[in-house]
Amino acid sequence: MKKPLPLWRNMRRRAGVMVLSLLTSAAFAALRLEPGPPPGPPPTPPPEGPTAVLRLHAPALQPLRDQRTLQLDRIFFVTSRGRFYLPPPASLEVHAGPTNAVEQTWSAPDGRNVRIQVRIDGPHFRVRLQAEPAEDILGWGFSTEAEANEYFTGLMERVVDGPQQASWAPGIQAAMNLRGQAVEMILKPTTSVYAPFHLSSRGYAMLIQSEWPGRYDFCATDPDRVHIGFEGPDLTVRIYTADHPAELVRAHALEVGPPVLPPRWMFRPWRWRDEHRHRASYYDGTPVTGPFNSEMMEDVLMMRAFGIPCGVYWIDRPWGPGRLGYDDFEIDPKRLPHFAESVQWLAEQDIRMVLWIGPFYQGHMATNALERGWNLPGQPPWPNNWPLVDFTHPAARAYWQEGVAKLLRLGVAGFKLDRAEEDIPEHGPWRVHDGRSLRQNRNIYPVLYLQAAYEVARKYRGDDFVLMPRAAYTGSSRYGVFWGGDIGGTQEGLRASIIAAQRSAVMGYPFWGSDTCGYNQQLLEQEVCARWLAFSCFTPIFEVGPTRNVGFWNLPRPPEYDELLIAAWRLYARLHDRLADYGWALALEAHRTGMPLVRPLFLLDPKAPEAWANWWTFAYGPDLIVSPVWQKGQREQQVYLPAGQRWREAWRPDRVHEGGQTVTVPAEVHQIPIFVREGSGLELGDLNREWEDARRIAARRPDLKVLDAEVRHWFESRRRSTTARTP
């Protein structure tokens, strides 16, 4: 969520200027202790002659010039005096095999010694670079050679680096493959799932084991080279090799995880709004007599009347008192009357309540935290009194956790963890409590935030909770599930989400969902939204909202009562609900093995070029192939079906196709091409009949007067029962 905060935004630029103007020359000197601009690519100037070389030999690597070798060269480090490349004759050859370790010391041009350590773990390697003396080392980098058609993916959920809107710009061509792109490895709002991990079609994957910012260049500067550079005093690179890319994904996911195991109810449909108001009447003018927030009741009652299942209902900010609706982790009784009872009402319908939270204090807690120095240093003094928590400070962390615990004691089953990558200080001489510089703290901050929430949620709810942040970095998968940030509500926004689901899966984040129909919405385009509902059905988190704080029954454009979208929501919510056990089984597999639920086709059929090229098609587990349509006006889809299996069309079940070929299938506005693996035993039901039922039911407007009375009677009955039990 990214609601307008005018004073914050206006202060941000002014405060930045103010802070810089206050820095003394001594403070600027202190900044030298931290790296400046990322020391990564392009290597300027490039070395004129040969450089030191590390060659890693592994049988799983695809040959490059007849050698199954990954070569790291142009190795350099950065100091305040500049960049120093390690010269020849330094070289090291290492072969995959039994566990072993190799170490060499090389001489650097500035007189330092550079120690290179390589650990061999079967088919995998760990390379560490350190300089002696280590003073004034600001960063490291290296290059590798790229094959002519080598494919790279990973690093980030957004399609391209830079402002997030670039990922859904009209006419965008970039997709899953990162070749030709340069990427800064620093979290940017608000599509913010990142990992310094990339996978290559040559049979290897690479993880930079660092919290520091860095930079990648995939053949953007040099057409046949990859350049990688990271800030920090040393550099550790984990390199995986395998015959099959799925093995690379699994190995990395388990090493940085394992991924959290969410409860089964997470795989049921979700509903939310961006901002809940408590009104005197429902959308159609029916007076509200029920006891709870009117918009929450409207959503739940309308969904029940339409036969749309709901397993999770989340309330976004504001839900508390104060200017920003988040003071002291207290519930605002005017906005959310009888909150504890509303949680119970939802629970009796098998619906869990989830709330929005942020990585900051507000209200009296903010004042207390600032007095004690528990805020993140380097943050300008915002007029909204919104100090960020220094999660490396035990007392600051515990104080924030006390607020979260208040909500858990009310029966809240989880949280949407917003921000943590936006307006986070990263420059200046300050350090956080545990000694990290602001720059080093920048990428790890969302992990610490999520971990703090996980600790308190686990204390109160065991394993029965969900934490869903939008920002992630290496280590986040151990604690949370993720959503795709404030995505645009256009056809290109849907396109970006299809890519984000698969990129996130490759990076080790198996549980992901998007704001169905987009967050930054214009007119809630009917066709785009219908297609998005179909796509979200086949992601682990199927959450629908905010639809500009309305439902599909009172849209701000004609038709206000959108029968087609209500019907599509019903169709795909019911299908997603029927797949909840399937999703839960896949979650167990992801937790145990690291294999994601959403699987790009190259994880199933890596030898087929079509599996790498057909990015709009993916597998949901082993038994389903789905191919979301994202372009308006498109009514058929080309789908590559992985080899080695036979695949049955879900919409035309009399048609079965051999794998290893591309087929063209019809795709009306309510249809997503779905193929079920023959012999899987997975039954989706009669989708055509389900659609007919959905259209018929959507055409009948529910009687909210009757439904509202049911809630009032439930509340009154519960009050009488409670009174009778009171001595």
The residues with which 648 forms a beta bridge, in sequence order, are 656, 676
CA distance 41 to 58: 26
Contact in structure between 575 and 690 (CB atoms under 8 Å): yes
Q: Is the pLDDT of residue 3 over 80?
A: no
494's enclosing H/E stretch is helix 491-506
Compute φ and ψ for 470, nearest 5 degrees: -100, -20
List the beta strands (DSSP E) in 420-575. 466-469, 471-472, 482-483, 512-513, 515-516, 543-544
Nearest partner of 611 among 623, 603, 602, judged by Cα: 602
State the average pLDDT over residues 587-592.
99
State the average pLDDT over residues 102-116.
96
CA angle 187/602/593 to nearest 5° reads 70
DSSP 531: H
CA distance 141 to 229: 4
In the chain, the amino acid numbered 383 is P
What does pTM read for this prediction?
Answer: 0.94
CA distance 48 to 40: 18
Mean per-residue pLDDT of the chain: 93
424's enclosing H/E stretch is none
Could you tell me the pLDDT band of residue 41, with boundaries at 50, 70 and 90? very low
313's enclosing H/E stretch is strand 312-315
Contact in structure between 214 and 183 (CB atoms under 8 Å): no
Tokens read off for 324: 């920003």
Q: Is the pLDDT of residue 461 over 70?
A: yes
Q: Model confidence over 686-723: pLDDT tens digits?
A: 999 999 999 999 999 999 999 999 999 999 999 888 77
CA distance 531 to 514: 13
- Which pLDDT belongs to residue 722? 75
CA distance 403 to 374: 14
Task: Return the residue matching tokens 């980030």.
Answer: 156
Q: Model confidence over 286-336: pLDDT tens digits?
A: 999 999 999 999 999 999 999 999 999 999 999 999 988 999 999 999 999
CATH 2.60.40.1180 fits 602-681, yes or no: yes
Task: Return the residue matching tokens 């080392």.
Answer: 137
The DSSP bridge pattern shows strands 352-357 and 598-600 to be unpaired
The residues with which 416 forms a beta bridge, in sequence order, are 356, 468
Q: Model confidence over 15-39: pLDDT tens digits?
A: 232 222 222 222 222 223 333 444 5
Confirm whether 264-598+701-708 and 602-681 share one CATH topology: no
- How many other C-beta atoms lie within 10 A of the C-beta of residue 132? 12
- Which pLDDT belongs to residue 240? 99
Compute φ and ψ for 287, nearest 5 degrees: -60, 145
* The CA-based dihedral angle spanning residues 481, 485, 491, 497, taken in that order and rounded to the nearest 10 degrees: -30
State the average pLDDT over residues 68-92.
95
Tokens read off for 42: 């392009």
The residues with which 118 forms a beta bridge, in sequence order, are 102, 127
State the average pLDDT over residues 218-237.
97
Task: Return the residue matching tokens 């290893």.
Answer: 660
- Which pLDDT belongs to residue 383? 59
Cβ-based burial of 66 (10 A; exposed 0-12, middle 13-18, buried ≥19): exposed
Cis peptide before 6 (omega within 30 of 0): no
State the average pLDDT over residues 353-372.
97
CA distance 622 to 617: 14
CATH number of 54-256: 2.60.40.1760
State the average pLDDT over residues 143-157.
98
21 vs 176: which has the higher pLDDT: 176
CA distance 530 to 562: 11
- Which pLDDT belongs to residue 48? 77
Q: Is the pLDDT of residue 146 over 80?
A: yes
Report the topology of domain 264-598+701-708: TIM Barrel (3.20.20)
Helix, strand or coil, per DSSP, at residue 678? coil
- How many other C-beta atoms lie within 10 A of the C-beta of residue 410? 16
- Which pLDDT belongs to residue 12? 27
Q: Model confidence over 598-650: pLDDT tens digits?
A: 999 999 999 999 999 999 999 999 999 999 999 999 999 999 999 999 999 99
State the average pLDDT over residues 431-453.
98
- Which pLDDT belongs to residue 726? 66
The residues with which 641 forms a beta bridge, in sequence order, are 661
**Above pLDDT 70, what percent of the chain?**
92
Residue 502 CB-half CA count within 13 A: 30
Q: Model confidence over 555-585: pLDDT tens digits?
A: 999 999 999 999 999 999 999 999 999 999 9
487 vs 5: which has the higher pLDDT: 487
Q: Is the pLDDT of residue 44 over 60?
A: no
Put residue 621 in one of left, alpha, beta given phi > 0 → left and psi -120 to 50 → alpha. Answer: left
Contact in structure between 331 and 291 (CB atoms under 8 Å): no
In the chain, the amino acid numbered 25 is S
- How many other C-beta atoms lie within 10 A of the C-beta of residue 726? 6
State the average pLDDT over residues 247-254.
99
Cβ-based burial of 678 (10 A; exposed 0-12, middle 13-18, buried ≥19): middle
State the average pLDDT over residues 369-377.
95
- Which pLDDT belongs to residue 251? 99
Nearest partner of 619 among 510, 473, 482, 479, judged by Cα: 510
Q: Is the pLDDT of residue 2 over 50?
A: no
State the average pLDDT over residues 374-402.
91
Contact in structure between 130 and 86 (CB atoms under 8 Å): no
Nearest partner of 569 among 595, 594, 600, 545, judged by Cα: 545
- Which pLDDT belongs to residue 46? 67
What sign results for the dihedral spanned by CA atoms 379, 385, 388, 391? positive
The domain ranges of the chain are 54-256, 264-598+701-708, 602-681
